[in-house]
Amino acid sequence: MAVCQECDTPLDFDVEDAEEGDVITCAECGAEYEIVATEPLELSRLESDELEDDEDRLIDTDEDE
């Protein structure tokens, strides 16, 4: 399981449904990661200026909403 580099919280998302280019958001601190590879899973931390307004790529890991 992937872990947030900022707060060490496990990133809760379905790895089987993940695709390269998807963006994962940490439910605890809001840090965002792009999936750059799926086999093996590789994430890249995104900075706010790298984010796109493409909501179709976002995977929300916050289960409280």
Altogether, the residues listed in the chain come to a count of 65
Question: Pick from 58, 63, 19: which is nearest to 39 by CA?
Answer: 19
As a whole number of Å, the CA-based R_g of the chain is 11
pLDDT, tens digit, 9 for 90 and up, residues 24-62: 999 999 999 999 999 999 999 998 654 454 445 555 555
Distance between CA atoms of 30 and 19, rounded to whole angstroms?
20
The model's pTM: 0.70
CATH numbers and ranges of domains, the chain: 15-60 (2.20.28.160)
Distance between CA atoms of 13 and 47, rounded to whole angstroms?
20
